Structure 1
Amino acid sequence: MTQNIPGFDYRRVEVAEGIGLNAAVGGSGSPVVLLHGFPQTHLMWRHVATDLAADHTVICPDLRGYGDSDKPAEVGPDVYSKRTMAHDIVALARALGHERFALAGHDRGALVAFRAGLDHPDSITHLACLDVLPTLDMWEALHGVQAAVGFHLYLMAQPPGLPEQLIQNSPDAFFSYFLDIWANDPEAMPPGVRQVYLDACRRSVPSIVADYRASAGIDIEHDRSDRAAGRRLTMPVSVLQQDWGAALGYEAAALWGAWAADLDHSTVSCGHFMAEEDPETITKSLRGLLAR
């Protein structure tokens, strides 16, 4: 089953040797790239993208390893590092004629966006990260029994073999679990859209696990190196999150503030899938960011 963003054209763009991304492109004006999270595809941005396309060129790719984008084998830790995936996005934008662009990401896509902001500050004009902590901060925030909410992070951090086998034995049950428990409003994700996500994830188990495995290894190394060097995000940054801080014992705004000099941090009352559950709030926030 496939489902497209209404009014958007679909293109396959080569971003590295032998690696192509599926991307929906619509609208006209200054460019905005929107990156999806887990366990979703670019389709999660359908409401926000069509609104922003009224006065922006909006680009919604499937990340490397997800959806209809290519899924290279995990032959080394760099293949699914956020540094590599961020390079994909910069290459995608350039291939479409945009040297500079605004970038917003949700969940896994927000980690890619964060890395792009650090590695490619001359390319990213504005940055938005939705419902995530930077990788290094995330691992440091998880501790004790409260860390059980991130059990999937630990499962997919294991060496190749067991995680893939366990998930592939019952992929719909595994991915449906997160679609169910992370949504405050199940009706925000219609059955047809939900099926798109499940079909895409079923085809992508090894690459999804590789993406998460990288975040338990090489991505931490990159974040730790940047923290030690004092590297920070130099563009205007907006972060929207659920308020998990009290439960997990961290202050999200302070953690993000250590990375971003120009930060607007706010909490939202919807569930994790905020671009689908409350697209009006997300669109308003992105428009506010773009005006900064």
Structure 2
Amino acid sequence: MFDNFTRHTISTSGAKINAVVGGEGPPLLMLHGFPETHTMWHKVAPELSKYYTLVIPDLRGYGDSEKISSDPKHNNYSKRTMAQDQVEVMEHLGHTKFYVAGHDRGARVSHRLAKDNQDKVLKMLLLDIIPTREMFKQVNQSMATSSYHWFFLIQEEPFPETLIQGSAEYYVKSRLKSVNDDCFNADSISEYVRCGINPGTIHAWCEDYRAGASIDLEHDEEDFNNKLDMPLRVLWSSVGHMGRNNDVISVWGNYANNVSGKSLNCGHFIPEELPNEIIKEFIQFFSE
């Protein structure tokens, strides 16, 4: 995977970030979700690298990026802090303005990155999320059942960490259930398991979600009225709770001035389930 890409370990002011970089053209930062790593982009990266300079990192705490200790307010895993890592990665590579794409937790980091750096982000494409504050507003039985990990992982340390570590491989594989389980090949699953059984990674997952239920909400409330101006494209699963229970474009219209998007006939892990469609969407959106 990622042939013709180079691997980098980039020291930012907050963490050492692992990334693969390859291709040529305008810079495109691509951020993965939970419980995955940069590997989730392996099906789309070869073709996209013909059009863009791809920067594909592991978020702090995930994959082979540095596992940072936690703090009482979860600032070290706030989306603002995680986004700043990625801004510094791009600056290190010489990119002061760039495109951004994110899936799942990486999409939440992308949203905060764009909020805090509107002068740097030219366009943004997000996969299968609505803003975090909207998710917590609509908690019901359906949401709590399909997204139980939102509430399990935020429990006080070390409760979720201890339970996951007892069956870490099983837990990782359980989170990779999809409408099309064949979308994951053996190499990618092995990589997700390799990283996911690391106690430091497990703790980082929990801190990521704890921040999402605390400090991230504070930040989101503080600048709610500062809408995004750059073009925003949102794609989402037609079968997930979010897509079935929200007018996704209208929701995002409260956060951004220039929103487009559509649902896709797939599960949550969109780039691995529909790689050809995602490639077309990326090229059309970022090149228009």
Check whether TM > 0.5: yes
Q: How far 1:248 sits from its partner (Å)? A: 6.1
- After the TM superposition, which segments of 4 or more aligned residues of structure 1 sit over 3 Å from their partners? 244-249
Query: Matches of residues 27-42 of structure 1 in structure 2 within 5 Å?
Result: 27-42=23-38
CA contact (8 A) 1:31 1:57 kept: yes
1:99-150, CA deviations, whole angstroms, 9 ceiling, x for partnerless residues?
0000000001000001011111011111011011111111112223542111
Q: How far 1:251 sits from its partner (Å)? A: 2.0
CA contact (8 A) 1:146 1:247 kept: no
CA–CA separation in structure 1 for the residues paired with 2:244 and 2:52? 37
Select 1:233's aligned residue among 228, 237, 245.
228
Per the alignment, residue 40 of structure 2 pairs with 44
User: Structure 1 pair 10/247, CA: closer, same or farther in 2 (3 Å)?
Assistant: closer
Select 2:150's aligned residue among 149, 153, 161.
153
Per the alignment, residue 191 of structure 1 pairs with 186
Please say if 1:109 is aligned against 2:106. Answer: yes
Per the alignment, residue 253 of structure 1 pairs with 249
Per the alignment, residue 267 of structure 1 pairs with 263
CA–CA separation in structure 2 for the residues paired with 1:257 and 1:290? 20
CA–CA separation in structure 1 for the residues paired with 2:137 and 2:118? 26
CA–CA separation in structure 2 for the residues paired with 1:201 and 1:251? 33
Per the alignment, residue 213 of structure 2 pairs with 216
Please say if 1:88 is aligned against 2:80. Answer: no
CA contact (8 A) 2:142 2:241 kept: no
TM-score by length of 1: 0.93
CA contact (8 A) 2:31 2:102 kept: yes
Q: How far 1:291 sits from its partner (Å)? A: 2.5
CA–CA separation in structure 2 for the residues paired with 1:279 and 1:62? 20
CA contact (8 A) 1:130 1:240 kept: yes
CA–CA separation in structure 1 for the residues paired with 2:270 and 2:4? 22
Amino acid at match of 1:257: G
Per the alignment, residue 55 of structure 1 pairs with 51
CA–CA separation in structure 2 for the residues paired with 1:253 and 1:46? 28
Could you tell me which runs of 5 or more consecutive residues in structure 1 were left unpaired when the two chains were aligned. none
Please say if 1:5 is aligned against 2:2. Answer: yes
Please state whether the residue corresponding to 1:193 is helix, strand or coil.
helix
CA contact (8 A) 1:141 1:249 kept: no
* Paired residue total: 284
Per the alignment, residue 75 of structure 2 pairs with 78
Could you tell me which runs of 5 or more consecutive residues in structure 2 were left unpaired when the two chains were aligned. none
CA–CA separation in structure 2 for the residues paired with 1:236 and 1:15? 28
Per the alignment, residue 124 of structure 1 pairs with 121
CA–CA separation in structure 1 for the residues paired with 2:31 and 2:255? 20
CA–CA separation in structure 2 for the residues paired with 1:199 and 1:162? 22
Amino acid at match of 2:19: A
The alignment-based identity, stated in percent, is: 35
Q: How far 1:5 sits from its partner (Å)? A: 1.2
